[in-house]
Amino acid sequence: MKTIEIEEDLYLYIASQTKHIGESASDILRRLLEVDDQKSITDKVDTVGEDNIDERVEEAITVEQSPLTSDTDVASPIADLMDYFNFAEISEAGSSTKRFLSLLSGLHAIDGKRFAKACVLKGSKREYFSQDKDLLLASGKTSKPQAIPSSPYWVITNTNTARKRHILQHVASEMGLHEFQIERLCEAV
């Protein structure tokens, strides 16, 4: 296994080509470069020659940049979460509930329309999101709904950290974020 350094935009492009959860970078590159197995790679290296392999790799990979957000219903990934979230500040927020609310607020700020579509999440007996605090209270006396800052939404907060991560993962996934971005958000809870 080798480690290579690549620029951020190239990394985001490779990650955007993920077909299923858990697909490795090597699997993605094999698919993009149309390389099936080790023998195919060896054959390609032999025909290229080791002297100019770095140049050939750079030529083989082209980067298409997509806009940060889109007006269409097709989910486009968020290019750099660091532009939207101050993870250092979030980590100092204290409780997991405060971090959870801050992250949800950031997702709403990124794209309110996608956020609205993404927060139709329900448990077996509870509503998780609503624009009406009383609706959340009616679905469970101990739900402890709190307002998501800078949004019209409320979310239940009387859940453990794992459930908060699950809720955040669902919303981020429905909004079209990449798996590695979702993992970064969930780690911040």
Question: What is the set of domains in the chain, with CATH numbers?
Answer: 8-60 (no CATH), 81-187 (1.20.1380.10)
User: Residue 41: what pLDDT?
Assistant: 57
In angstroms, the CA 163 to CA 175 distance is 18
Higher pLDDT, 55 or 100: 100
**Strand (E) or helix (H) holding 183:** helix 179-187
In angstroms, the CA 20 to CA 44 distance is 27
Q: Name the token pair of 154.
A: 């409320």
Sign for the CA dihedral angle at 112, 113, 114, 115 comes to positive
Q: Residue 29 contacts by C-beta under 8 Å, 6 or more apart in sequence?
A: 14, 35
User: Residue 66: what pLDDT?
Assistant: 33
Going by C-alpha positions, the residue among 154, 149, 151 that lies closest to residue 99 is: 149
Q: Mean pLDDT highest for which of 48-52, 121-125, 153-157?
A: 153-157
Is pLDDT at 159 greater than 60 in this prediction? yes
123-137 burial code (b ≥16 CB/10 A, e <16): eeeebbbbeeeeebb
DSSP string, 134-154: HHHHHT-TT--EEEPTTSS-E
User: Residue 152: what pLDDT?
Assistant: 96
User: Residue 40: what pLDDT?
Assistant: 54
Average pLDDT, the chain: 78
In angstroms, the CA 51 to CA 151 distance is 56
User: Residue 63: what pLDDT?
Assistant: 35
pLDDT tens digits, residue range 61-81?
Answer: 433 333 333 334 344 455 566
Q: Over pLDDT 70: what percentage of the chain? A: 74
For the chain, strand residue ranges (E) read 129-130, 145-147, 154-156
**Strand (E) or helix (H) holding 110:** helix 96-110
Across 18-23, average pLDDT: 71
Supply the pTM of this predicted model.
0.59
pLDDT tens digits, residue range 95-131?
Answer: 999 999 999 999 999 889 999 999 887 777 788 999 9
User: Residue 55: what pLDDT?
Assistant: 53
